[in-house]
Structure 1
Amino acid sequence: MRPVVLLDGGLGQEIYRRAANVSSALWSVAVMHEQPDVVVAVHSDFIRAGAKTLSLNTYAATPSRLLQHGQLEQLVTIHQNAFELLGQAVEATGACVDIAGCLPPLAGSYQGQPARSFEDLRDEYSVLVKQQAVADVLLIETMTNTLEACAACAAASELGKPFSVAFRLEADGKLKSGETLAEAVAAVSPYSPTAVMLNCCDPELISAAMPELVRLHPCVGGYANAFKSVEAMARGGLVDALEAREDISPQAYVAHVRQWLADGATVIGGCCEITPEHVRHIVETLADDYEFIRFSQWPVPNS
């Protein structure tokens, strides 16, 4: 059977759906302190669904965002909590999985190119890499421009562990910065990421772009969101302004995933609004054709 790396789904959105009355704008950070059982349960459900690589709940815990909300002094504690809660889920399930560190956009999702230098961005990502150094792998996610993506790659590559970089595409098939997919892959290739992927955009966009991406890098993949639109959040709104698409059922999502795999993808998973049930359906539907593995197991000898 062909080996395929299987990530988890939309961790933050699944936590948001289950948590109640979280007291902070950085709710994904606050919930680890106020309702830790919810975080453990979500991680556990993704593991039981079959995910082989699980992300830390630290997407919102960048120095820039914590500083904005007066919580920068909590950076170390937040990352320690994230590791502890994911560790509890791994222990409870007895599963053999990778723990993935998370390197997101530093100031917020769906923005254009930041007005910062490469060195400044790299130094901030290096802070995050230091906090996540015991992770098995690193996932650079939701990149909208090559400046930030390359800065994250530079920091991640210093750890000497497998890492990926995932770009978000707009409706025109380009990054928010206006750069093409080919330009984006060319920019990060000198850092030798294990995989280059597409994430947090419509599954239809990933399906359309996957054939090109497969030609651009040896190991590629995708994990889509199921939002109707992210424009409200791109304009500075909160996550509660976003709505899920009702048409992206587990069955509908696996149809896209099957196409990505047929086109040559080797890493799959889900982003916002892709639930444990979606991941479970991927495993149940495709298990006869693919062997699902951890990110750190790629490349598989003779694959």
Structure 2
Amino acid sequence: METKMIPVKLPHQSDLMFLTDAGLETWLLFERGFEMPCFAAYPLAQSVEGRAAFNDYFSAIFDIARQNGTGFVLDTYTWRANPDWGRELGHDLTHLRDVNTQAVESAKEMRNTLGAGLEVLVNGIIGPRGDGYDPKSIMTVAEAQVYHAWQIDVLASAGVDMVSALTLTNVPEAIGFANAAAEIGVPCVVSFTLETDGRLPTGELLQDAIAQVDDAATAKPAYFMVNCIHPDHFDDTISESADWKRRIGGLRANASRLSHAELDCCETLDDGNPVELGNQYAQLRKFLPNLRVVGGCCGTDQRHLAQICTALAS
């Protein structure tokens, strides 16, 4: 029988710092040498080698969380496990339902076997319908709600504690995702990606995007995050005093200073400087009073997470 350790509070309701995922996909691709069509991690769960890699990856992060006394927001490997990307990979909805359910069950098992004594939240991950770097086609709010409701419902039915949409490029998709989560009844987090100028790929300022989602969504997201951007491209955006920054509860930065277009063309891993990245997180936290969830994105791994924890603690 599963002993489920559910924190009383979600990250934005707690004084505890939570660690989360780093650059899982780039780690699998460049460090473990897996083929990653469509940059999708979920097909690897079908092989013994892939499941072993997931275990190695997350075991190290659990150790870092334990060493630093943090909670852990444990992400499912389902960023690409939505209908359009699944179809691109040759998988129908029946297969994708099994994939998403299995991902939640795997996360629960890790919580039990690796997370003893830690406050661990199982976080169902939703990815953008299109390219996470290039918003070529933008859905209406209603279309986004219908599209994302399918995966959110599967993840919620499997027992996640929350859902997060990572690498969103535009406001209507974020509102639709939040509306779908509200209708299904699961707490949600919206994470935008930004370009090197600190704006969304569609051109909006981050503060405007946050305000639009909060104003238009059926229920406000629990908090917002930013992911897949280097701190150098983000720090000017938050250096001034403003109330909207209190809505940012999480950060998952890239190790690399390269633009999205440059990252798309990379054949080698740019893992940046872990110590420098950790120090930049510590500087950013001075301007983000409600930052509770820290992790990484492209090019980051356990080294970066350890340095982020060290810098924040000091």
Cα offsets for 1:105-129 (capped at 9, x unmatched): 1122112252433222211110111
Give the total of aligned pairs. Answer: 282
Q: CA deviation at 1:44?
A: 1.8
Report the 3-state secondary structure (helix = DSSP H, G, I; strand = E; otherwise coil) of the residue aligned with 1:52.
strand
Q: Which residue of 2 aligns with 1:59?
A: 79
Q: CA deviation at 1:260?
A: 1.5
Q: Which residue of 2 aligns with 1:44?
A: 59
Q: Give the TM-score of the pair, scaled to structure 1.
A: 0.83
Q: Which residue of 1 aligns with 2:172?
A: 147
Identity value in percent: 22
Q: Which segments of 5 or more consecutive residues in structure 2 lack a partner in the other structure?
A: 1-13, 66-70
Distance 1:263 1:243 in 2: 33
Report the AA paired with residue 41 of structure 2. S
Are 1:209 and 2:222 an aligned pair? no
1:185/1:217 contact within 8 Å kept: no
Q: CA deviation at 1:141?
A: 1.3
Root-mean-square deviation (CA), in Å? 2.5
Q: Which segments of 5 or more consecutive residues in structure 1 lack a partner in the other structure?
A: 289-303
Q: Which residue of 1 aligns with 2:145?
A: 122
Are 1:75 and 2:96 an aligned pair? yes
Q: CA deviation at 1:104?
A: 1.5
Flag the structure with more relative contact order, 1 or 2, with Cα contacts below 8 A and sequence separation at least 6: 1
Q: Which residue of 1 aligns with 2:121?
A: 98
Distance 1:126 1:254 in 2: 36
Alignment of 1:226-237 (within 5 A): 226-227=255-256, 228-231=258-261
Q: Which residue of 2 aligns with 1:222?
A: 251
Q: Which residue of 1 aligns with 2:283?
A: 259
For 1:4, which of 17, 28, 49 is the aligned residue? 17
Report the 3-state secondary structure (helix = DSSP H, G, I; strand = E; otherwise coil) of the residue aligned with 2:41.
helix
Distance 1:258 1:214, change over 3 A: farther
Q: Which moved more, 1:109-118 or 1:210-219?
A: 210-219
Distance 2:281 2:91 in 1: 38
Q: Which residue of 1 aligns with 2:108?
A: 87
Report the 3-state secondary structure (helix = DSSP H, G, I; strand = E; otherwise coil) of the residue aligned with 2:55.
helix
Alignment of 1:165-204 (within 5 A): 165-190=190-215, 191=217, 192-204=220-232
1:181/1:213 contact within 8 Å kept: no
Report the AA paired with residue 62 of structure 2. I
Q: CA deviation at 1:232?
A: 5.4
Q: CA deviation at 1:146?
A: 0.6
Distance 2:138 2:123 in 1: 28
Q: Which residue of 2 aligns with 1:291?
A: none
Distance 1:260 1:23, change over 3 A: closer
Q: Which residue of 2 aligns with 1:300?
A: none
Cα offsets for 1:134-181 (capped at 9, x unmatched): 211111211111111111111122343332211111122211111222
2:198/2:205 contact within 8 Å kept: yes
Distance 1:145 1:233 in 2: 20
Q: CA deviation at 1:208?
A: 2.1
Are 1:283 and 2:309 an aligned pair? yes
1:113/1:177 contact within 8 Å kept: no
Distance 1:171 1:45 in 2: 31
